């Protein structure tokens, strides 16, 4: 690969929308790789932009960094992943996205009355949560649909 085919950290930050500090973090975490110039400057192959787009999409649907790493580890080494590689990898998201869509719809339908926090601050909550029975169901917004209350390992 020619040196002029490689992107600087600034180029990648600009093109990906990630801060330079995030790129360094993702490199330390093994999600992306860079080569170094003789002066120690990072250089990235263009294919890193697709990996970063995957990282952003995965994080936006709630995948943890460990889940992202495991998914990226399934991609072939030594070549740029193909459309088929990416389709195979993202297929596993389908059920999770469907579950989140159902949960968000349920949340939208309930927003005009209560978001399930158990706070008793609204008159309607006093009816829905008499004697604060929500407190016995656990911490947080116990009436929210489950996919919206789980962390999925996010930090």
Domain stops at, among 47, 63, 91? 91
Q: What is the pTM of this model?
A: 0.65
- The answer to whether 90 touches 103, Cβ cutoff 8 Å, is no
Same-domain check for residues 16 and 83? yes
Helices first, then strands: H and E counts in the chain? 7, 3
Q: Report whether pLDDT(107) > 90.
A: no
Domain of 142, in residue numbers? 105-148
- What is the CA angle 60-65-12, rounded to 5? 75
pLDDT at 154: 45
User: What does the pLDDT look like over 9-33, one tens digit per residue?
Assistant: 999 999 999 999 999 999 999 999 9
Q: What CA–CA distance (Å, rounded) separates 151 from 35?
A: 34
Same-domain check for residues 8 and 52? yes
pLDDT at 15: 95
User: What does the pLDDT look like over 42-97, one tens digit per residue?
Assistant: 999 998 998 899 899 888 888 889 988 988 888 887 677 788 888 888 787 788 88
CATH number where 21 lies: 1.10.1660.10
Same-domain check for residues 87 and 109? no
pLDDT at 148: 67
């Amino acid at each position: 690969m020619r040196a002029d085919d490689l992107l600087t950290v600034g180029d990648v930050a600009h093109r990906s929308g990630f801060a330079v500090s995030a790129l360094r973090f993702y490199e330390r975490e093994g999600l992306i790789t860079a080569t170094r110039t003789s002066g120690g400057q990072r250089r990235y192959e263009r294919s890193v932009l697709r990996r970063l787009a995957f990282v952003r999409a995965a994080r936006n649907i709630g995948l943890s960094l460990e889940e992202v790493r495991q998914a990226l580890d399934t991609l072939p080494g030594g070549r740029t992943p193909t459309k088929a590689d990416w389709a195979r990898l993202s297929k596993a998201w389908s059920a999770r996205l469907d579950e989140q869509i159902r949960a968000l719809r349920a949340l939208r339908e309930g927003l005009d009355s209560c978001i399930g926090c158990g706070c008793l601050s609204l008159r309607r909550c006093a009816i829905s949560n008499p004697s604060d029975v929500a407190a016995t169901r656990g911490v947080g917004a116990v009436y929210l649909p489950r996919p919206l209350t789980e962390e999925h390992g996010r930090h």
